[in-house]
Chains A and B, each alone.
Chain A
Amino acid sequence: MKRLRTYHEVTGDDRSDLGSQVAAQHARVGSRLAEVRRVVAVMSGKGGVGKSFVTAGLAEALARAGRATGVLDGDLHGPTAARMLGAVPGCLEVGEDGVSPAIAPGGVRVMSSDLLLAEGAPLRWREPGQFRHVWRGTLESGMLREFLADVRWGVLDVLLVDLPPGTDRLDALVELLPRPPGVVVVTIPSEASFRSVRRALATARDSSVPVLGVIENMAGYRCEGCSAFRPLFQGDAGERLAREAGAPLLARVPFDPRVQGAADAGTLAASADALAGAAQALLSRLEDP
């Protein structure tokens, strides 16, 4: 058999050129985010620490402080940030240049799978039934990419990305963005949370992503009867993680069932109050060259 020329020796066009198609997708992300000053990922290695509550409260507080703010709900399977912000599902306008985000009552621009999925429907893909795990991650990264590139975010001071529990979506986000985001890490005071969230810090460090600060959520509660401030969890994970990251502890946010209930109902005034200090500290970090 005669020697076949190799791919590189055959010099004609590769019409498929999948690499160029993927590069074009990334270029669209860069182009869309050219008007976004900073992307900040809100993450934690642990579930149930209140990332979405913190994201929504920070966004509302930033908007109140006069900053154009967007929230991209990166928790594709368990989206909650949109409704906490008061954004409700409805028709999102599609034009040739992209999809309009939902606008929350406080002015925050929001995109979330919660706005796209039928009520109660889990995120599923129309794909062949076998070996779905092979491409599910790719499709989810693609969805994150389209949330970044195809939403008409407009000019933003801050785009907050609410990441799901764990660390892998940060890697996907970092690879999609033209420059690294900053990270706000959320923890609760407990030792278990410290151990988990520490892994998130390590992921950020490995990806050369700057940690802008740590927020300790559910840091005690005020007794309704005697007004005494009592701990909810034992531990000081917030301070220890901040020390380890070399970043400030932006806030210790006490648990308040009234604030949580209001956030669940899409009324964020109280949570914005609770996160106002953290938002100011975050802004200082963002504006510090």
Chain B
Amino acid sequence: MSTTEAPIDDPKSAERSWFSSLLKLLHISSIRNGFRVAEIDNRLLGMLGALAVIWIVFHILSGGTFLTARNLWNLSVQTAVVAIMASGMVLIIVSRNIDLSVGSMLGMLGMAMAVVQTEVLPNWLGIGHWAIFPIALAFGLLIGALIGALQGAVVAYVGVPSFIVTLGGYLVWRGGAWALSRGRTIAPMDRTFQLLGGGSRGTIGETWTWIIGAVLCLGIVFLLWNSRRQRIKFAFRIRPMWAEITVGVIGCGAVLGTMFVLNHYYMAENLAKRYAVEHGIAYPAGGLQIPLGLANPVLIVLGVALVMAFVATRRRFGRYVFAIGGNPEAAELAGINTRRTIVKTFVLMGVLVAIAAAVSIGRLNAATSGLGTLSELYVIAAAVIGGTSLLGGIGTIPGAVLGALVTQSLQSGMVLMGIESAYQQIVIGIVLVIAVAIDSLFRKRVTT
């Protein structure tokens, strides 16, 4: 992201009214130049644009159901599982590896957690014991980390290509999922465990949704302020003030707008009646509108994405991963323990798959041995649509999450329109290739 031609603002000129600068922007001949000055990521902007187009088209074609609070709330929950895994896949692909085993791993870890919580722990603790949830989850996370460590170690220390190792894993873990249950469906899940999957009880409610929105908003402002402060401190080029404020306002607006929409999806009538009875409220004639707010899976995605983005961009480990992806030999010669770093990326991936598996079985309230079939392809597609380069060294976590949202929007929208699954696959396949094609054409133009 080099901006060599951008006009340089020194700190003093930044003190000038941003309004006059905004006027100046209106005179800038090329919009692209304006983005460059504002250091706005063109890619991300392009994806948001594509998403907006997809949403509007579906809204029109579905006769006005797509852009309703209810459908957008559905969409947020449906995206969660793939988004969680995609944020880990970014680091794997950035370090020039691939993980084809995530779908099968999801199936096996989901099955393992399901068996532990329905058939093992109740024998010792009794059904509905509070400790079942933390033990089952911890067990899943541990197994996920171990599987990741195993695959990563074979890739990094034995030197088997990750394609082959995880292709093996693809078969092994799927078989494992079947063997754990002999093909049975395991249901129902522990009451607390179900909360991980969202559903009617698994949301945080209106107040907390606004609080989370406010915290995220403050976070954006803080990051902008902090990066400006750092740049001034080290006498780096800084963004013009108008750009800072525009980015802040748009970012905050998007966050609060999302929370606003999620708070406008209300508890279903039947459940609201039940709620009224439980809380001793008389059920009003016009209906009781209880906003559901952020669903737990979405909260988990937010947490995962924030942590992963922080690790990827602000921690030494993340820097190493990008360095290895950029040039493995140079990274090694620079003294980076490349092997250990690779193993760590796979461990992280395993843990994220375990989290995704927990969300998945919580949501379905059951574990089936086919759980997660083909999801490795959707995860890789999300990362790649989100701008991760299969050549390594390039990729962002927010991009991958957005990529997951794009693919899920296409799928959910097509179901709303009643398009058959065979055609859904065709559309998604074409979109994947087009997205990457546009991206590589765009990159070529930028670099030459």
Q: Do A and B bind each other?
A: no
